[in-house]
Amino acid sequence: MTTAKDLFIISLEPRPAHAAVGQGDLSLALAGAELIDLLGMGAITVDGDRIVPGGPPTPDDRLLGEAAEQVTRQPPYERIEDWLWRRGRDLSATYRAALEEDGELTRKRSGLFPFGSQRLEAADTPTRRRAAARRDEREPVLAVLASALGIGGARADDEPDLDDEAATTVVAAVHDAVMELEAVRQRRNIENAAFANLWRGP
């Protein structure tokens, strides 16, 4: 399993008094998780804010392999931020479909009625237990990516430190992208409210 799949699984866990993780936010964080796993394999390196293709290792994981194939091979290499937005487009839906296909996710109806809405849960598999163990141990990479999604409740100054400068650069880009997406949402909400008020009139 990969960091991205572990992150997706822990994002499904119920969080009292918290809204569900936004799919756009999750997609950005999943793209960042892929980069960090590719860094760990030596498939890429980071030069400043750019992703530089590295050695020939081919990931065993299909989705991580797709990510490796999408790395820009010609200079000027792609900026991390641009990668997050490009690779991250609908990435949470891609991971959801892959994990469902592998039997790692299950759909359960909420409420007492048989026709109630369905919610997605992680199945009780070794994969889920591994993801939960990484979360409980506050494994640094998973913890800081989860924090970008508001999972875990840790403040920024309580986050574990990453020993790798390149991974730290990727995580910082994920945080920035998630904040940018939230700013876009807020601006859109303000514009929609202003438009609605205009139609209602004085």
pLDDT tens figures, 29-48 = 999 999 999 999 999 999 99
Cβ burial, residue 6 (10 Å; 0-12/13-18/19+): buried
Share of the chain above pLDDT 70, in %: 81
Find out whether 80 and 169 touch, Cβ atoms under 8 Å. yes
Q: Confidence class of residue 2 from pLDDT cuts 50, 70 and 90?
A: very high
Question: Which of residues 108 and 49 earns the better pLDDT score?
Answer: 49
Three-state DSSP at 111 gives coil
Question: Which H or E run contains 30?
Answer: helix 23-41
Average pLDDT over residues 138-154: 85
* Nearest-10 crossing angle of helices 165-200, 140-148: 10
pLDDT at 116: 45
Average pLDDT over residues 76-87: 96
Q: Would the pTM of this model clear 0.75, i.e. be above it?
A: yes
Question: Which H or E run contains 46?
Answer: strand 44-47
d(CA 132, CA 172): 24
d(CA 41, CA 28): 20
Q: Which region among 7-21, 142-156, 183-197 has the lowest average model confidence (pLDDT)? A: 183-197
Find out whether 109 and 22 touch, Cβ atoms under 8 Å. no
pLDDT at 18: 59
pLDDT at 104 over 70: yes
Q: Which of 124, 133, 91 is nearest to 105 (CA)?
A: 124
Question: Which of residues 183 and 166 earns the better pLDDT score?
Answer: 166
